[in-house]
Amino acid sequence: MSNPERLSVLYVSQMPASPPRFGAQARIHGLMTQLAERHDLTAVMLVDDEFDANESRTAMQAYCREVALIPNPHSHEGPTKRIEQLQSLVSTQSFERLRATVPALQSALDRALRTKRFDIVNLEFSFLGHCNLRQAPAGEKLPALVVDSHNIDFELARQYARSGSSLIRRLYAGVNWRKLRREELGTYRDADGVYLCSAADERRVLAEIPDANTAVIPNAADVDYYQPRPSDPPSDGRTLLFFGLLSYVPNIDGVLHFVENIWPYIAKANPNARLKIVGANPPPQLKALAGPRIEFTGFVPDLRPHLASAAVVIVPLRLGGGTRLKIVEGMAMGKAIVSTELGAEGIEAESGRDLLIEDEPKAFADAVGRLLNDPGLAARIGKSARELAVQRYSWNSAARKLEGFYRQILNAGSRGKRS
């Protein structure tokens, strides 16, 4: 390292970090923007058709020294994606890895790594683990490789295999998760360090790779951006809010579960209650749920007014891993939250003080009803949640912890090979 105080970090991802529109982006964006205040960041990332590459490049140039966004020619959706998923069943590689295999990306990585020496290559997810990331200019020390595991992706796919919405989805996931497992664990084994969103996910990795070098870097929130503001509308006392990317399977399952199994109890006991679902790309099966008391807003540019006016934030998730950004952002806004145990996994919050946790449909509905009927209780839980978010779940705190993990790896001299 030329400057022991300032690190040079190459961020590699299957999606651009900014502007953050959903959970995975929010994690990358939150950590990168905080690290950029003290270190030099370069980004080489894929960009799918769903993103505006110019918008993303401009946003990331505000904190990165260099930004290379490579169009992904495999970014198909709808029927084309389904056909490619079926075709992937005969491949030895997972669909996710096939979709992220882009020769132009490797060429961009080659140029970046052979031109400048990096202390750290930070790989987001494991789907690009096949890329050649251990390169440096001639005679220079190779960079350390660190992987950010947003989820244990093969475990998530295994959950889909057990509880997918259709037989075809379950059969597909039953084949694909085994490929994901081999690839994901291979990427973790090759890395100098792996950081995870929760202690539960860390235990899952260590059960597979006992000698892995791991750290827990929790999801967090921009607690200065997400905070109660005098200009925001007050709680309307009746709106339940769910927010998240609605093309994401755990969110689809959570909304369907809530509307089919929990909402009927709430709607009957609270005739004025209404449900607002905020998020991009809802599939037809979710759109069909819309009605006089159930609203789908689509993507919104600013979530804060919607959070402020809601009486309760709901997180009825049954699938997934890591930690939920929707919880820490809701907490930062001082909102009362009702979640399943899995939805709140990895959040060091106490049920009854910082949020309410219930798994059974009737108990979940009753918890929502308690908050609707007792605004004072909702306010006390929201206040405690805000305090917890500020104390433990700010991006600044998470980035400081990640910086410490980087330095621990570099000080250990992991893989001190030269090119």
pLDDT in tens, the chain (419 residues): 445 689 999 999 999 999 999 889 999 999 999 999 999 999 999 999 989 999 999 999 999 999 999 999 987 677 777 777 777 878 889 988 999 999 999 999 999 999 999 999 999 999 999 999 999 999 999 999 999 999 998 988 888 888 766 777 788 788 888 999 999 999 999 999 999 999 999 999 999 999 999 999 999 999 999 999 999 999 999 999 999 999 888 999 999 999 999 999 999 999 999 999 999 999 999 999 999 999 999 999 999 999 999 999 999 999 887 678 899 999 999 999 999 999 998 899 999 999 999 999 999 999 999 999 999 999 999 999 999 999 999 999 999 999 999 999 999 975 445 55
Residue 25 structure tokens: 């982006």
CB of 16 within 8 A of CB of 69? yes
Fold equal for 8-220+395-411 and 239-392:
yes
Closest-CA residue to 238 (of 378, 65, 88)? 378
Assess contact for 51 and 16: CB atoms under 8 A.
Answer: yes
- State the DSSP string of 225-273: TSS--TTSPPP-SSEEEEES-TTSHHHHHHHHHIIIIIHHHHHHH-TT-
Q: 11: which DSSP letter?
A: E
**Do 257 and 358 form a contact (C-beta atoms < 8 A)?**
no
CATH assignment, 239-392: 3.40.50.2000
Residue listed under structure tokens 């206040």: 383
pLDDT at 23: 86
- Strand 274-278 relative to strand 193-196, pairing: unpaired
Per-residue pLDDT, 324? 87
Domain edges within the chain? 8-220+395-411, 239-392
Angle at CA 393, nearest 5°, toward 331 and 205? 115
Q: Who's near 87: CB < 8 A, 6+ residues apart?
A: none
For the chain, the residue count is 419
| C-beta separation of 48 from 69 below 8 A | no
Give per-residue burial for 146-178: e unless 16+ CB within 10 Å, then b: bbbbbbbbbbbbbbbbeebeeeeeeebbeebbe
Cβ atoms within 10 A of the Cβ of 260, count? Answer: 11
Report pLDDT for 163.
Answer: 76
Structure tokens at 93: 């590689």
Backbone angles phi, psi at 252, to 5 degrees: -60, -50
Distance CA 257, CA 104 (A): 41
Which residue, among 220, 84, 221, 206, has the nearest Cα to 152 in the 3D structure? Answer: 206
d(C-alpha 331, C-alpha 313), whole Å: 9
- Decide: 66 and 43 in contact? Cβ < 8 Å: yes
Of 85, 120, 331, 77, nearest in space to 227 by CA: 331
Radius of gyration of the chain (CA): 22
Residue 303's Cβ-count burial label (10 Å; 0-12, 13-18, 19+) is buried
CB 330 within 8 A of CB 337: yes
Spatial separation of the C-alpha atoms in residues 299 and 375, rounded to whole Å: 28
The two structure tokens encoding residue 42: 């370069």
Count of helices and strands (H, E) across the chain: 16, 13
pTM here is: 0.87
Q: Which two tokens stand for residue 402?
A: 């990640």
Helix, strand, coil % over all residues of the chain, rounded to 5: 45, 15, 40
Q: Can you name the CATH fold of 8-220+395-411? A: Rossmann fold (3.40.50)
